Structure 1
């Protein structure tokens, strides 16, 4: 996948970028589609909630 085919979510602007154009400190990705990049924050939130539950389950064993 070339850089132009990658999508990035910019956490500072809330915009999706095609190809990496902004500072790494503000980007999430790369994603294969615009839709995946647009859902970056929700995906991260869901992943974090799942990991938190796994941690809690592990501590309660």
Structure 2
């Protein structure tokens, strides 16, 4: 099922980065929306998940940079 206005899944959950609220369906402007997620709980964890991914990317980049320095 999709939202007729946005064409996005209406049965999924989103995290609003501006308000810190979880939304059912795409309610806010896309610039403030993170998702979609299958559950409300997953959407609520969005900020933590973003931090985890950012740290993993930074760690990967640091490893790649260190690898090049050893050559």
Match of 1:15 in 2: 21
- Count of residue pairs the alignment pairs up: 61
- TM-score by structure 1 length? 0.93
Match of 1:37 in 2: 43
Q: Which structure's residues are more often helix, by fraction?
A: 1
Structure number, greater radius of gyration: 2
Unaligned runs of 5+ in 1: none
- TM-score by structure 2 length? 0.81
